[in-house]
Amino acid sequence: MKKVVIGMSGGVDSSVAAILLKKQGYEVIGLFMRNWDSSINNDYLGNPNLNNNICPQEQDYNDAKAVSDKLGIPLHRIDFVKEYWDFVFTYFLDELKKGRTPNPDIMCNKYIKFDLFIKEAKKLGADYIATGHYARIKDGELMRGIDDNKDQTYFLSQLTKSQLENVLFPVGDLKKEEVRRIALEYDLITAKKKDSTGICFIGERNFKEFLKNYLPSQPGKVIDIETNKVVGEHQGLMYYTIGQRKGLNIGGNQDKMFVVGKNLPENILYVCFNEDNDYLKSDSCLVEQMNFISDLRPKKCTAKFRYRQKDIDVTIDYVNDKEIIVHYDDVKAVTPGQACVLYQGDICLGGGIIKEVRKENKKLWYLL
């Protein structure tokens, strides 16, 4: 009997993945990763939206344990708190300091879930590892999950072929409602549990208040890019992302205000009051840290510049092994620091990090 070590997160997806693996005849072992210590960081105490008697990750562990006990599988626990800080959270903070918009979940998959986790699983004698990601592997290619609304290949775009060897994605062939139905049939504690949101392993937070624990606020001017007039004051460029409209809290007529750019040296946040403005639009971007999962190198394919965005038709110029230039018709809010992930049909070709945003071959000065 082949042995599978599955990452049990305390959520419904990994719970059902464990059920499916057992039904397929595998010997299943659960492994819970603890990657964040809220008690040390003191970043959840006093938050009225959280249960202060138990930190969120401890509740996740309790749920994972309850599911494992019910399914009759052992559950091991491993701490990657230091490694998460060194490889993921430090990257997150460094990118924010540069005024960029990082995606820590992608780096968490690269360095934690599909690196350190795999090494730990092998110590437990794993023939395969499994997770609750909505993705598939077919003929050596990473494929989108069947559920278009839940597909998570965007977050797996920095993985290598070797990291994906002997990996199983049991729920990748299911839609979310089917996963919920299976969990209800087994009367699992996670069946109706809300999907996790927020930063990977850190969870939901008041973003600005959370970041104040690590990055000091640096207030500055908010300027209307069309009139060059000061229209408010921001609390720090790291709190805002390109295209943002809600939760600005910067004064002025915010109902019609859009973030369109940042000037890091002068600590200026640029906004516009015209939804159809050209400042949010670009027609190409330079992508660095490019990671190719597939051997395919099409000239034309599709891309996503953020999760759940509809596919954008693009043309690719291959600069070198780690850089590409992506061309597209006018697209709004392509943002430095975010991931650009390429697809050919259902195949995830790989992805990289947006370094520069351009229009008519010129770098947009207000986009860093």
CATH (domain of 31) = 3.40.50.620
pLDDT for the residue numbered 144: 98
Query: Does residue 199 lie in a domain region?
Result: no
pLDDT band at 197 (very low <50, low <70, confident <90, very high): low
- Same domain? For 126 and 97 the reply is yes
Structural domain tally of the chain? 3
Query: Does residue 207 lie in a domain region?
Result: no
- Same domain? For 14 and 138 the reply is yes
DSSP code, position 57: H
pLDDT for the residue numbered 198: 58
In the set 55, 108, 301, 348, the catalytic residue is: 108
Contacts with 172 (C-beta within 8 Å, 6 or more apart), sequence order: 133, 134, 135, 136, 143, 145, 146
Q: What percent of the chain has pLDDT over 90?
A: 77
Residue 264 CA, distance from chain mean position: 24
Closest listed residue to residue 251, CA positions, set 221, 281, 209, 289: 221
Our answer to whether residue 200 is catalytic in this structure is: yes
Q: What share of the chain is helix, strand, coil (3-state, %, to 5)?
A: 25, 30, 45
* Six-digit token string for 120: 């730990």
Instruction: Say if residues 355 and 324 touch (Cβ distance below 8 Å).
Output: no
- Same domain? For 267 and 284 the reply is no
How many of the other CB atoms lie within 10 Å of CB of 307?
Answer: 16
* 348-355 average pLDDT score: 98
Domain that holds residue 235: 216-272
CATH (domain of 265) = 2.30.30.280
- Same domain? For 230 and 287 the reply is no
Does the pLDDT value for residue 3 go beyond 80? yes
pTM (2 decimals)? Answer: 0.91
- Same domain? For 22 and 131 the reply is yes
- How long is the chain? 368
| 139: helix, strand or coil | coil
Query: Does residue 209 lie in a domain region?
Result: no
Closest listed residue to residue 67, CA positions, set 173, 200, 182, 147: 182
pLDDT for the residue numbered 254: 65
pLDDT for the residue numbered 48: 44
Query: Does residue 200 lie in a domain region?
Result: no
Per-residue pLDDT tens for 216-236? 889 999 999 999 999 999 999
Contacts with 312 (C-beta within 8 Å, 6 or more apart), sequence order: 302, 303, 304, 305, 328, 331
- Same domain? For 233 and 305 the reply is no
